[in-house]
Homo-oligomer: A and B are copies of this chain.
């Protein structure tokens, strides 16, 4: 793990970009002398890790006392892109906006992306937990499909917050019952890209004994800010 840049913010949070082989990532750590719990933050459908809304969330959690790490998924953010991926992503966006069924694109494009992303998250987890300033336990926040596949495979994930989840590849829908850690499942009631009933069915399918659903009125990007606070309270119950 090579740190490639470093910036100290006004609130004391240290933001460092890193590379781990081919994988670019960012780590935010609080101004704290003691090792902190870690939250892995993955972004739905491979949004670039430097998307401002997502960076704001990461910095908020770091200011609350967590180490927060994110990496770009294969073909996303700062990583080499292929024309085929760009085409698939454009097709997916167009179909979602048109309200057309997207299951086929999800299976052929997002499914393999999830399969490729999870081993990289596990590699990143190994490297992050070897840093002296990070102690665990480890939470996961964000991209539902990656979180399901990761939590099903990775016993070090102690709690997870998932967002949206209306469209999830079939393999992860089936894996949901194997996820048994405490969950906070957040959805937007009128999410134009995530059918509500599918998201509710996925919440129902998780094997966890402790699972909480939060839903708010509005579309995909309309999540109210207090859900960020609620998310940190959730992690506070399970990671601190």
Contacts and interface: CB of A to CB of B under 8 A. Distances in A.
A200 B212 CA distance: 15
A64 to B, nearest CB: 15
Contact of A214 (B203, B208, B213): B213
Contacts of A208: 217
Interface residues of A, number: 20
Nearest to A211: B217
A4 interface: no
A216 B226 contact: no
Nearest to A237: B226
A117 to B, nearest CB: 28
Given A200-B200, A211-B217, A226-B233, 19 more contacts: A189-B204, A189-B211, A189-B213, A203-B215, A208-B217, A209-B217, A210-B217, A210-B224, A211-B216, A212-B215, A212-B216, A212-B217, A212-B224, A213-B213, A213-B214, A213-B216, A226-B237, A230-B230, A230-B233
A184 to B, nearest CB: 10
A38 B214 CA distance: 26
Nearest to A204: B189
A105 to B, nearest CB: 28
A215 B216 contact: no
A140 B126 CA distance: 49
A225 to B, nearest CB: 10
Contacts of A209: 217
A122 B85 CA distance: 61
A214 B214 contact: yes
A214 B212 contact: yes
